Amino acid sequence: MHRDVVDQATTIRPRTEADLPGAAAALVTVHAADGYPVEGVDDPQAWLTQDGVLQAWVAEKGGKIVGHAMLSRPQGEDAVRMWIEQSGDTADHVAVGARLFVTPEARSEGLGERLIRVAFGYAQGHGLRVVLDVMAKDKAAIRLYERIGMQRIGTAKHTYGEGQEVEAVCYVSPEAST
């Protein structure tokens, strides 16, 4: 019996405008499974295209968007403030890691780590440190960030919706290797 084998390799590449509907659909799927994000699923394309985007990437498998990561310019985030206070650095040397997600069916392939490492490479190539926050409830993301060497720099309250709050853990990326 002969079977056709379809290569289901996952590629990570810069996001294009044409990727937004697929990335938005993936985000809605992730939200339904995990409650991530706590906001933004009412208009997922807008949430993925916030002001100040430096670069965004998608993970694509079999023609379907199964993951996403983004870096943006600082816009008053607690993690940025903490890092500047602790390091003495300035906001123009910081990129904010955001919008990292992988759909449930594509997990256990290391895509979250691959996406964040692509973002780190971009940031390092532009002389930037990546800071981010992650909701304390998102244990898998916390394990990922700590496993890849991100440094915990503090906690903050993330406010969203109509006065809702959730605890967030703030991180900074490892220093670039020399």
Task: Give the tens place of pLDDT for each residue, 60-112.
Answer: 999 999 999 999 999 999 999 999 999 999 999 999 999 999 999 998 889 99
Using alpha carbons, list the distances in angstroms from residue 67 to 60, 81, 119: 7, 28, 13
Instruction: Report the alpha-carbon distance of residue 26 to residue 19 in Å, rounded.
Output: 11
pLDDT for 166 equals: 86
150, pLDDT greater than 60? yes
Instruction: Report the alpha-carbon distance of residue 26 to residue 178 in Å, rounded.
Output: 36
Mean pLDDT on 120-140 = 94
Domain annotation for the chain: domains and CATH numbers = 10-172 (3.40.630.30)
- Please tell me what DSSP assigns to residue 26: H
Mean pLDDT on 45-72 = 95
2, pLDDT greater than 70? no
Instruction: Report the alpha-carbon distance of residue 120 to residue 100 in Å, rounded.
Output: 13
| Average confidence score pLDDT of the chain | 90
